[in-house]
Structure 1
Amino acid sequence: MRKLKLQVQITIDGFVSGLNGEQDFMLAGGPDAAGFKKVIELAETSDTILLGRKMTPEFIAHWENMVDNQPSSPAQPLAQLMVNMRKIVFSRTQTDIKGRNLEVENGDLATKVNALKNQPGKDLLAYGGADFVSSLISLNLIDEYYLFVCPVAIGEGLSIFKEKKSLKLESSTAYQHGKVLNKYVPA
């Protein structure tokens, strides 16, 4: 059975974005080659990305633009993965969203995710947005949490945890510039 892995950057005070979707905190400390390598390694363990409708247009535009127009970017290896990998966008309102290797799913979230977990293949990887990830967490669908904790507090913002959730820390890796990757599994 495939696992659903969540990868997200989060502030030290528990937010995945500001109240208006701001994510500038992710740039704290500048680029980190080892952390970036881990993001690529995690993506390579998966063959399907799960996304929420709200973040999809920006996600698709960013990675497709990088593949098409920034061939010398150091992020090109990750961009290639993001563009070429199967992507499933969950939406209650839209049936067609443009993007390469992108499908829209309008059915029941838990039913579809559990069906995907039972298919052959590599693991599944969820990136966001906040409401979508909150739904995955509330439905107990996440098998592994990869939280890149940024050394920034923003005071208020969007959280992916809407209720008490007990997790077990499996590993923790500190990176240059202060980010820490904590891997958790459900307790």
Structure 2
Amino acid sequence: MELSVNTFITLDGVMQGPGGADEDRSNGFTRGGWIVPNAADGQLDPVDGWFENADAFLLGRTTFEMMREYWSQVTDPENHVATALNTWKKYVVSDTLSDADAAWGDTTVLRGDIVEQVRRLKEQPGRELQVHGSWQLARSLHDAGLVDTYRLLQFPVVVGEGKRLFADGAAPAGYRITESEVLTGGAGAVSLTLRQTEFGELETGAFVVRDGKDEIA
């Protein structure tokens, strides 16, 4: 399986608490719910497509518990996201959560060396092992070079504080945009799909002036 990270972000890269004021108040965050005023008129349409690529989900404990509380209540059979989360295979990363406390459909608790365990999960057949939200987990997997694809739904708002997808110190890496769409209606969110380049490395260069011409060195 490939590993993908799927998340909502702001213009300043914040991914914390998009869906509600109380979704994630850690570190004193008070600006949760920033996608809600921008979620109408098809602005969340790409999300169903994200879930259609999944065979299993990998979540941090905070995101797992938030999703379980909300999505376990959604019983509409036409809601693809709820059906996927309530019935498909899930892995939750936690050294303190018991198997009994993690009960939500087909769920397995991962403890210990998460990077090595995720490497083994990626060796299994299937389409995608998907991370949704899960800021700390996503950062660890990025730094380990395990993320094959990012799917970002970026909203035209600046929050000014909060957990950022790529905070200072993130491992340098190179990606290419394979899909992009400005969603019509509403505020005009931007849907992006990025895949790691062949070597996954950040390339650098320089502009120079030669014989009076602006060129790439």
Q: What is the number of residues matched between the two proteins?
A: 180
Q: Whose radius of gyration is greater, 1 or 2?
A: 2
SS at 2:177 equivalent: strand
Calculate the aligned-residue CA RMSD, in Å.
2.0
- Cα deviations by residue, 1:111-162 (Å, 9 ceiling, x for unpaired): 1111111111221111022111111111111100001101111011101213
Gaps of 5+ in 1: none
Q: Normalized against structure 1, the TM-score is what?
A: 0.87
Q: Which amino acid aligns with 2:138?
A: V
Shift of residue 30, structure 1, vs aligned partner? 2.9
Residue 42 of structure 1, CA deviation: 1.9
* Superposition pairs of residues 37-56 of structure 1, within 5 angstroms: 38-56=46-64
Distance in 2 between residues matched to 1:86 and 1:172, nearest whole Å: 29
Is residue 2:31 matched to residue 1:31? no
Q: Residue 73 of structure 2: SS of its match in structure 1?
A: helix
% identity of equivalent residues: 26
Residues 1-187 of structure 1: matches in 2 within 5 Å? 2-17=1-16, 19=27, 20=29, 23-33=32-42, 35-36=44-45, 38-67=46-75, 71=76, 76-96=79-99, 97-162=102-167, 163=170, 164-176=172-184, 177=186, 178-187=188-197
Runs of 4+ in 1 over 3 A off after TM superposition: 32-35
Instruction: Specify which structure has the bigger relative contact order, considering alpha-carbon pairs within 8 angstroms and separated by 6 or more residues.
Output: 1
Bigger proportion of residues as helix: 1
Q: Tell me if the contact between 2:56 and 2:88 (Cα under 8 Å) persists in the aligned partners.
A: yes
TM-score (norm 2): 0.76
- 1:51 deviation in Å? 0.1
